[in-house]
Amino acid sequence: MPNRPQPRFPEPNSQPFWEGAKRGELLYQQCNSCNGVVFYPRMLCTHCGSLDLAWKQSKGEGTVYTYSVVRQNRNPAFSDLGAYALAYIDLDEGFRMMSNVIGVADPTKDVSIGQRVKVEFEKQDSGDYPIPVFRPV
């Protein structure tokens, strides 16, 4: 199994997101006052300042906004991945997250901007939290 860095706790902003990941759910926040979508998880609404945020579950489908194929990373946690695609994914609910596009034969050729992708939760040797990554659909 992959051996990526795990999230570190206590970190109360992101803990619900990662508990969701354990259940196979991709979570984001939405403001009950202005309906604004908030991501990364935090304490207040970045649109109106309200403290009244609700957790929502994403369908996990989106498009690749941009990407880069990493050929060199000094961090040993990624050394056995080979070249891998780092990406910003625009989820259909309106939030942008950093992730990886996986499951392609050659990431330098098989990943593209605008590509449709779907989340999956990749189990890790490094700990209990699976990491949300995206596979082309």
Partner 1 sequence: MANQARDAAIVGIHEYPLRVAPGRSAMQIKAESISKALEDSGLKYSDVDAIYDTNEGEGGGGLGMSHYLGLKPTVIDTTAVGGSSYEFQTAHALRDIRAGKANVAILSYGSVAASNRTPIGTGGGTGAGAPNWQGNMEDSFGQTLIANYAMVAHRHMHQYGTTSADLAEISVSTRLHATRNPDAVRAMQDLQFMGTGEISVQDVLDSRVIADPLHLLECCMVSDGGGALVIASAAAARGAKKKPVWILGTGEATKYRENGGDITVSAGAQSAPIAFGEAGVKPEELDLAMIYDSFTITVATILEDLGFCKKGEYKDFAKGNRFRFDSALKPALNTDGGGLSSNHPGMRGLFLLLESVRQLRGESSSQIANAQLAIAHGNGGFLGGNHTGGSVILARD
Which residues sit at the interface with partner 1, rule CB under 8 A?
A: 4-11, 13-14, 17-18, 37, 39-42, 65-75, 77-78, 81, 84, 86-88, 90, 94-100, 108, 113-114, 131
Contact 39, 95 (CB under 8 A): yes
**Rg from Cα positions in the chain:** 16
Separation of alpha carbons 137 and 133, rounded Å: 13
Taking the complex as a whole, how short is the minimal distance between the CB of residue 126 and partner 1, in angstroms?
Answer: 8
- Residues 56 and 54: their CA atoms lie apart, in Å, by 6
Which is closer to partner 1, CB of 15 or CB of 32? 15
**Whose Cβ is closer to partner 1: residue 8's or residue 137's?**
8
Nearest approach in angstroms of CB 45 to partner 1 is 12
CB of 89 to partner 1, least distance (A): 10
Q: Which residues contact 17 (CB under 8 A, 6 or more apart)?
A: 27, 28, 41
Instruction: Name which of 70 and 104 has its Cβ closer to partner 1.
Output: 70
Closest distance to partner 1 from the beta carbon of 23 (Å): 17
User: How many CA atoms lie less than 13 Å away from 12 in the CB half-sphere?
Assistant: 2
Report the first-to-last Cα separation within the chain, whole angstroms.
22
